[in-house]
Amino acid sequence: MNQNATKTPTIESHRERLTGIVRELIEPTAFGDTNGQCHRAMDTLGALPLATEPYNLATNRLKNARYYPETGEFGAAQFELRQLLSSIDRL
């Protein structure tokens, strides 16, 4: 076995990564600079083999969570993220 070979990420590892990112975003202190984390979450979503509808719903939740704090809607952002978090295992 080649020890230098890179491991291919599994679907489960992508889900775990996405769960970690979303959990970080849910923290109230995270609303200062969410762009990097949202981009990482979008990239991770793109790596999952999702049908169009669940992918669009997940990306819309992330987009909403990113923009709600700009208008002072922190509770709405957390709601979107909690909804996304609860759906990750079904993705």
Q: Give the integer Cα–Cα distance in Å for 64 and 81.
A: 9
61 lies in some domain: yes
79 lies in some domain: yes
Which residue type occupies 89?
D
69 lies in some domain: yes
Nearest to 23 by CA among 68, 88, 70: 88
Q: In the chain, which residues have pLDDT < 50? A: 1
Note whether 83 and 65 are within 8 A (CB). no
Instruction: Output b/e per residue, 63-77; b: 16+ Cβ within 10 A.
Output: ebbbebbeeeeeeeb
pLDDT reported for residue 32: 63
Q: Which residue's entry shows tokens 């990112």?
A: 21
- The structural domain count of the chain equals 1
pTM for the structure as a whole: 0.81
